[in-house]
Structure 1
Amino acid sequence: MISGEKVLLKPFAKDDLPILWEWIYGDDNPEWKKWDAPYFPLKKREKDEFIISMEILLEEGLETRWGIWADERLIGSVSYYWEHKPSNWLEVGIVIYDPSFWNGGYGSEAFRLWVGHLFESLPIHRIGYTTWSGNKRMIRLGEKLGMKMEARIRKARFFNGHHYDSIKMGLLREEWEEKNDTKNRH
């Protein structure tokens, strides 16, 4: 469990799974999906099947996806996956499902806590993520953490009749440590 001023990050428990399913699949056109890779359709999963598959992952020690809690409710999730584990290439993600928690610093704090946790607990030298040029908030979030735009693949995503760039952001361990040491000295 990781506590911040606004959010609490913690691994999912079985009791969280119905709430998580509701956030992800309860609405046919959820607001969060308009920003989280909307060019990939959300494939609805049946509630029971989702819960059973997630329970299996929890029993196996799922550590790659945690819940974001604020005001004692589940509002989102953070995650990571190995792009290439032999070289410790890790990619991360964040979704704030509840739009009433957008633009209030909840996502920024949750992502900062998650990145810090991953650098502290895993032998990685970099963290990155991919977004699209239509998601300006996600790009700004990376910049706030000290991430650099490492790639812009022009007009690689097509959504709502428009082409958007695919954006790859990244942060090296030494950049993270330098930025956070500087903050601690002031």
Structure 2
Amino acid sequence: MIEGKLVRLRALRPEDLDAQLRWRNDPEVVHWATGGQPRFGPVTREALERFHEARLLEDPRDGAVLTVEERVDGRVIGMADYRDADPFTGRATVGITIGERDRWGGGYGTEALALLLDHLFGARNLRRVELDTWSGNERAMKAFRRLGFVEEGRRRKAVRVGREWYDEVLYGLLREEWEGATAR
């Protein structure tokens, strides 16, 4: 378990799947998390269980899905993950979703991502973390920049949101940038 002031990150439990299922089928959560609708329609509980069972079979050093819960009352409010952690290159890809809309804009996602970065750069000894979002997600991009992520490129008009096309924005953060950041 990794604890901050607002949230803690912990291992996924079976009872967390109900909240994840709700978020993955909430059009507004999906909109901000992915820039669009689920690609294959609504997510079923069975599909979500299969996804997590498959993740349990993978080497945990390669990645993990973590639950984000409030420290005050233990309420499950989101999920964070890292994947493709490669000790040879020292690199991983991360993601964060705060699924409870009443917790949007309150710093919960920023703190959860900061806790995950501390873990990956510290305990996992990675040298680089990367992530992406779509160019319409200004709130996410602001949080990423606040944590020290640098925009490294764009895939132009790569994400469709409704009838519009947006850029996929690619971000990276190096361990020395994280360690030198003062705005955490």
* Paired residue total: 179
Q: Which residue of 154, 157, 166 corresponds with 2:156? A: 154
> What letter matches 1:20 in structure 2?
Q
| Higher helix proportion | 1
Structure 2 equivalent of residue 138 of structure 1:
140
TM-superposed CA distance for 1:69, in Å, is: 0.5
2:7 maps to 1:7 = yes
**Mean alpha-carbon deviation: is it higher for 54-63 or for 122-131?**
54-63
Gaps of 5+ in 2: none
Larger radius of gyration: 1
1: CA distance between counterparts of 2:54 and 2:83? 18
Structure 2 equivalent of residue 38 of structure 1:
35
Structure 1 equivalent of residue 107 of structure 2:
105
2:65 maps to 1:68 = no
Residues 49 and 41 (structure 1), Cα distance of their counterparts in 2 relative to 1, 3 Å cut: closer
Query: Percent identity, aligned pairs only?
Result: 34
Residues 81 and 56 (structure 1), Cα distance of their counterparts in 2 relative to 1, 3 Å cut: closer
2: CA distance between counterparts of 1:120 and 1:139? 24
Q: What's the C-alpha RMSD, in Å, of the aligned pairs?
A: 2.4
**Mean alpha-carbon deviation: is it higher for 57-66 or for 134-143?**
57-66
2: CA distance between counterparts of 1:94 and 1:128? 12
> What letter matches 2:171 in structure 1?
M
TM-superposed CA distance for 1:41, in Å, is: 2.6
TM-superposed CA distance for 1:19, in Å, is: 3.0
TM-superposed CA distance for 1:83, in Å, is: 7.4
2:24 maps to 1:24 = yes
> What letter matches 1:66 in structure 2?
L
Q: Alignment partner of 2:122: what SS?
A: helix
**Mean alpha-carbon deviation: is it higher for 138-147 or for 8-17?**
8-17
Question: Superposition pairs for residues 42-57 of structure 1, below 5 Å?
Answer: 42-43=39-40, 44-51=42-49, 53-55=51-53, 57=55
2: CA distance between counterparts of 1:52 and 1:163? 31
Q: Alignment partner of 1:45: what SS?
A: coil
Residues 59 and 162 (structure 1), Cα distance of their counterparts in 2 relative to 1, 3 Å cut: closer
Residues 50 and 155 (structure 1), Cα distance of their counterparts in 2 relative to 1, 3 Å cut: closer
Q: Alignment partner of 1:32: what SS?
A: helix
Q: Which residue of 97, 118, 121 corresponds with 1:119? A: 121
> What letter matches 2:7 in structure 1?
V
Residues 156 and 61 (structure 1), Cα distance of their counterparts in 2 relative to 1, 3 Å cut: closer
1: CA distance between counterparts of 2:56 and 2:48? 12
Q: Alignment partner of 1:35: what SS?
A: helix
